[in-house]
Amino acid sequence: MSEKNLVVGRITSIAFGGNGVSRINGKVCFVPFTAPGDLVEIRVVKEKGNYLEGSLERILEESPFRREPECELFGACGGCSLQHLQYKKQTEEKEQILKETLKRIGKISCPVTPIIPSPKEYGYRIRTQLKHSSTGILGYYRQGSRILVPVKRCPVLAEPINQYLETILFQHPSLPQKQRDLELSLEDSGEVTARWLYKSKNTNPFSQINREVNDSLRKAIKVKLKEYFSNPGTGIDLFCGDGNLSLPLAEEGWSFRGLETSAEAIERGRKKIFNRSKIDYLFQRIDLYSDVGRLQEVLKKQELLIADPPRGGLQGLIYPILQSKPRVIFYISCNPPILAKEINLLSSGYTLREVIPLDMFPQTHHLETLAILLAPSKD
């Protein structure tokens, strides 16, 4: 690139994805690792229609919201994008991103409550999956590539996981080449479990990675539930995992059916309720995206729907939900653009009542959101 590709711009905000936003010659320019308030020299690396992509050359005036990243790999490792921002500013930007995404993509005007922050900025992550190369490198992908960055410890991981990782690297400096990825999990008991994941041979059950914010999410669901139901009723939990969100409600008298694709998660959930005869909870394994007819039958006569789908969202499940029409939907999403799009699709049968953002993933651009939708009264 020549010097003519160098421009100066002021960063005004953070976009979904974690990049700073500036405006160059009337076009939006996205610049990684910048902070609102920075005056920066930008190298324009791509021009795509109505926006530009740039890289940070140097900081001319530093934002008051900047700080030193905790991790020496920040900027190389692709795991974090916001460590250079003060934590309060991270949460403010995420809240604003959510509001703008709902308005721009979903055409939605709805109250967004103040974001629920994570009690821990670092050391919160209780599960991770490290990539493993054919040359024996264990780490995470480099920013914007499939090149591995070797990782010996990670500040966002819970300390027991870091200690376990350091032990593995000390005891096995030359890791075997045929293993695919390494999953490390901090269990409720405090023990760290490890398993090698082979290509296409593991169905890895989903579980939340920030225990404290997961507790905040469950508390929010319980509190909001009491605003819509005076007494426990019947509910269905799509992508239920091991009952993370709905099992606490069953313990308070709700009758629940939990549907999940992962056999391992279902088995874990059944173990939780084994010999607990007072809990009315049925775990069922079902391929939620393909067995839509069966799902529509199951959805009939349910008062409450909890849905915590993968990043791709509900997709083809929206039609059977609209046909069956549970009275209240609690939709949990980690992907604001997909959430906005699907709330818009659900608006033909539901009214969005409230949106609650939770910072499940500090130091990253990711955001967890609880959206509450209500069907029209039948009276």
Q: Where are any strands of DSSP class E within the chain?
A: 6-10, 13-14, 20-24, 27-31, 39-48, 51-61, 127-132, 138-141, 148-150, 181-186, 192-197, 234-238, 255-260, 281-285, 304-307, 328-333, 351-358, 368-374
Helices (H) and strands (E) in the chain, counts: 8, 18
Domain match, 106 and 163 both = no
pLDDT at 377: 77
Q: Does residue 205 fall inside a structural domain?
A: no
Spacing of C-alpha 37 from chain mean position: 27
Nearest to 87 by CA among 379, 369, 378, 364: 364
d(Cα 243, Cα 254) in Å, to the nearest integer?
13
Nearest to 7 by CA among 22, 287, 105: 22
Which stretch of DSSP H or E encloses residue 124?
none
Domain match, 270 and 364 both = yes
Q: Does residue 161 fall inside a structural domain?
A: yes
Domain match, 247 and 358 both = yes
β-pair type (20-24, 13-14): antiparallel
174 lies in which domain range? 127-197
d(Cα 34, Cα 154) in Å, to the nearest integer?
22
Question: What global pTM score does this model have?
Answer: 0.92
End position of a domain, from candidates 147, 164, 197? 197
| DSSP classification of residue 1 | -
The token pair at 48 is: 């795509």
Diameter of the chain by CA atoms?
A: 73
CB 145 within 8 A of CB 131: no
Domain match, 221 and 106 both = yes
- The one-letter amino acid at 89: K
pLDDT at 200: 47
The token pair at 74 is: 């920040």
Domain match, 170 and 281 both = no
pLDDT at 379: 54
pLDDT tens for each residue of the chain, 379 residues long: 456 689 999 999 999 999 999 999 899 999 999 999 999 999 999 998 889 999 999 999 999 999 999 999 999 999 999 999 999 999 999 999 999 999 999 998 888 999 999 999 999 999 999 988 777 788 999 887 888 999 999 999 999 999 999 998 877 666 666 667 889 999 989 999 988 877 544 445 667 899 999 999 999 999 999 999 999 999 999 999 999 999 999 999 999 999 999 999 999 999 999 888 789 999 999 999 988 877 888 888 789 999 999 999 999 999 999 998 999 999 999 999 999 999 999 999 999 999 999 999 999 999 999 999 999 876 5
d(Cα 241, Cα 303) in Å, to the nearest integer?
20
The token pair at 254 is: 């709700």
Domain match, 131 and 112 both = no
CATH value at residue 9: 2.40.50.140
Nearest to 155 by CA among 87, 219, 95: 87
- The size of the chain, in residues, is 379
Helices of type H across the chain: 87-104, 159-171, 211-228, 247-250, 263-273, 292-299, 318-324, 336-346
CB 58 within 8 A of CB 65: no
CATH value at residue 281: 3.40.50.150
Total domains in the chain come to 3
Domain match, 231 and 359 both = yes
Domain match, 237 and 98 both = yes
pLDDT at 202: 44
Nearest to 31 by CA among 9, 50, 49, 4: 9
Q: Does residue 145 fall inside a structural domain?
A: yes
Q: Does residue 323 fall inside a structural domain?
A: yes
Q: Does residue 216 fall inside a structural domain?
A: yes
